[in-house]
Amino acid sequence: MTSYVITHDEWGIYLGSCMGLGFWSRLDPAGQIEAVVFEDPATARAYIRMWDENNDPTDYRFVEVKATYAKYATLADLKAAGLGHLVGEMEKSGLEFIDVVGSA
C-alpha cells in the first residue's frame, strides 16, 4: 500500500503521538518500531496544522513508503523507502522485541 510518512531533517521520522506528545525517531522513539502513515501529503499537512497554530507544514517532508500495514510502516518499510539515515534509536528499540533462538 502506498502511504506517506512525515519527516524532519533534525528530528527524524514522525512515529505518532500519545497524550499530546509527539514522538520522533531521532529524539525519543519511546520504544516505537513503526511510524504512522498518511494516505497522501495533503492529509499529513492538515494533521501537522492541528499540532500548533504556528506550525508550518513546509518545515517537514512527506516521503512515500510502501507500507506493509494500513496505518503504519515498519522499520523495514522505512528503510526500503530510503529513510535508514533517519531511523535513529528506532532500530535499537526494535532489537529489544526480537526473540533470539539458540545461542552463538
Separation of alpha carbons 38 and 61, rounded Å: 12
Instruction: Please indicate, yes or no, if residue 35 is contained in any of the structural domains.
Output: yes
Report if residue 32 sits inside a domain: yes
The reply to whether 103 falls in a domain is no
Q: Which domain holds residue 40?
A: 2-90
Q: What are the pLDDT tens digits along the chain (104 aa)?
A: 899 999 999 999 999 988 888 899 998 888 888 999 999 999 999 999 888 777 788 999 999 999 999 999 999 999 999 999 999 888 776 666 555 555 55
| Contacts of residue 103, Cβ cutoff 8 Å, sequence gap at least 6 | none
Total domains present in the chain: 1
User: Which DSSP symbol is given to 85?
Assistant: G
Q: Is residue 39 part of a domain?
A: yes
21, part of any domain: yes
